[in-house]
Chains A and B, each alone.
Chain A
Amino acid sequence: MSDAASLTTAPVPQASNAATAQPETMSWDSRSRRMVVLWLPLACFVIILLFPFYWMAITAFKPNAELYDYKTYNPFLIGSPTLAHIRLLLFETSYPRWLTTTMTVAVASTFLSLFASTLAAYAIQRLRFRGSQYVGLAIYLAYLVPPSILFIPLATMVFQLGLFDTPFALILTYPTFLIPFCTWLLIGYFKSIPYELEECALIDGATRVQILTKITLPLAVPGLISAGIFSFTLSWNEFIYALAFIQSSEKKTVPVAILTELVTGDVYQWGALMAGSLLGSLPVAIFYSFFVDYYVSSLTGAVKE
């Protein structure tokens, strides 16, 4: 429908009666237009995003016979749900332990990365020392080196430090890709915080550390949360370092351990694998849901001058 047509057909809002008015629709807007330009694309988007979760969920509760036979059973529905896969995952593997290890590693490496990135980003953005721009660029270039190239040199260092096959091997190597990412994210965020605020604090006699802790960081909380969510998710899902640096079964993280435990040769325990992936994605989803407002605000703009 054209704008001209909608202008003629759209009802005129009753300004005098706010309770019965339709404040969401502008005069040029209409229900059908909103359906086409808003709800339909949104529905497609939601379906595409949520379908993997739906597939994971139904696979986790489907008996094997239904999983394999698409002719007899509708692949999108469950005929007779079963908890057998969840039972296998939780009681016949060390899944709870893997989950704890993954959580520990993800939380520790996230905090470590945030701490280092905050200092790095602040120094690069605010101290403006000679060559700070190049340092920023160098940190970013480090992020571009793929882990598949880095894992063997890093393994040598991990061995020499005596960290092989310990959670510290991951806690200390994950920041190699988390710090560059977080630093760049925070550089951008710090840039959006007015410099005048810091100048005022300087005039009042605040030190650099006081400015950072009392002025900049409280204003940068959305940016920190955004970087934290990214770091946590990347650490949670990381595969190749966890595979290369951890060899003991009981110290593995969820992404590696479920493959080791639930894929035997060419036999995949699909139900339990999907249950493991579903349960493994829940902490990230919960973590995300708590901070989604901060996250959005960090992406849409920071402090207004």
Chain B
Amino acid sequence: MAIITRRRALQLGAAGATALAAAERAAAQSRIPAADVPAPNLPIESGATLRMLRPVRFVQPDEEVFRANAAKFTQATGVQVRIDFVGWEDINQQTAVTANTGAGPDLIMGFSDAPHIYADKLIEVTDIAEYLGRKYGGWLPLARKYGIRHGTQNWIGLPFGASSGPLVYRKSAMTEVGFQRAPDDHAGFLDLCRKLKAANKPAGFALGNAVGDGNGFANWLVWSHGGYLVDEDGKVAINSRETVAALNYLRELYPTFVPGTIAWGDISNNRAYSASECWLTANGVSLYFSLKNDPATRPIAEDSEHQLLPKGVLTQHPMSGLTLNAMVFRHSRFPNAARAFLAFMMEAEQYDPWLIANLGYWAQPLAAYKDSAVWTSDPKVAIFRDSMNNEFWNGYKGPISEASGQANAEYVMVQMCASVASGQATPEAAAREAERRARRIFRR
């Protein structure tokens, strides 16, 4: 049953209650610093009910604790909350239908740039965002970027967490070729990949149309050389000396990869890594946990380590994160209840148990939650703690907009890299083609 009534809240299912209790026990070990800040006055509308859509869980306790937290909100306020979960690939269509028809759920937790695409259909959440920011040590840079509408100080989305894709590698292979960790400079990283290839334990990074892994690798390649798709004003800047340098580097790097990476989707590196065909790749924490949870592949998990993507010519690790971003629609008849619900879910009593239940799959957008017990639960996931503490986003360095979302969805950066890796285009020609495509997209 998905509707949480008062009675339902009191009769919370055993599984959800157990998961919540376990997460709350762990949360008791967290010391989340919270400032004494008055909550915004949001008088809840009489007879309010809420309906929310969010992407499906990574792990079962994610859903159970999220529902249990919603039940606590029902207990506290009397507002019934219905939460439905949809597939990751499907949330965009559901959001498009909701935004264009002006009916449906009051709240949707979409991904990253969704609130910026439907900004005109949304209610601002500035009041609760500012309250939460002041109370919990401030919003991390990626959260601010995805939450605030470009050129304003108005919050249109409320980020709930992000998942990043650092390097994941087999420690034994790294040691075998004489490295303790992946070097942060391009030359060193290339040397590592060549040696792994020579040892028949090659690296592999997605160059196919893979939403997470493909964009993640292509973005890293260009960003780490100092390039970017558009500048701060949204002007296309991909055809640059830095981009050509990045693509020349790729020409040297690509032959060290396991064969077939040009056709890789998001799941391909998971399979190749699990089958010990690929020994160094970039992925979210899901790969580690899927290896750890299967007795047959547990030794691979024990031999695996995570590391942030190499910095290249920059001083920071150039990587972004897939961000859960909640939005409240204008058509909601209960905007106060909706905002009160979001604020309630982000309070430490609810948010920290949820963060812990997610085992590190999602990382916090608010600075204070860095002290959550989840980051000491498994040393191999600690690296994900700072997923939102970075300055890179999809469409960097430009404003987040429909166009930046489209450039991402059309794999402009990925296909530029793939065309060079496959030998179909020279770096200069590929950069020119990417510029042409980007200009068409950003023309509006």
Contacts and interface: CB of A to CB of B under 8 A. Distances in A.
B97 A151 contact: yes
Nearest to A148: B93
A68 B96 CA distance: 35
Q: How large is the interface on B (under 10, 10 to 19, 20 to 34, 35 or more residues)?
A: 35 or more
Given A250-B2, A265-B58, A159 B286 contact: no
B270 interface: yes
B112 interface: no
A64 B300 CA distance: 14
Main secondary structure of the interface of B (DSSP, over half): loop
B97 A261 contact: no
A264 B56 contact: yes
Interface string B47-77: 0000001001111000000000000000000
A42 interface: no
Given A164-B103, A243-B90, A267 B56 contact: no
A164 B94 CA distance: 12
Contacts of A265: 58, 88, 163, 284, 286, 361
B94 A68 contact: no
Contacts of B56: 260-261, 263-264
Contacts of B318: none
A266 B212 contact: yes
Contacts of B287: 266
A69 B272 CA distance: 8
A4 interface: no
Nearest to B212: A266
A259 B56 CA distance: 10
Interface stretch (B20-28, B79-87, B396-404, B435-443): B79-87
B96 A65 contact: no
Contacts of B2: 248-250
B130 interface: no
A68 B275 contact: yes
B97 A263 contact: no
Nearest to A162: B103
B97 A266 contact: no
A147 to B, nearest CB: 11
Interface string A59-83: 0000111001111000000000000
A266 B267 contact: yes
A247 B58 CA distance: 19
B90 A249 contact: no
B58 A260 contact: no
A152 B84 contact: no
13 contacts: A64-B296, A69-B274, A71-B277, A155-B97, A156-B101, A245-B97, A248-B2, A249-B85, A256-B87, A259-B87, A265-B361, A266-B212, A268-B267
Given A152-B97, A243-B93, A245-B97, 6 more contacts: A64-B294, A69-B274, A71-B275, A164-B103, A256-B87, A259-B89
Interface of B: 2, 53, 56-59, 84-90, 93-94, 96-97, 100-101, 103-105, 163, 212-213, 266-267, 270-271, 274-277, 283-284, 286-287, 290, 294, 296-297, 361
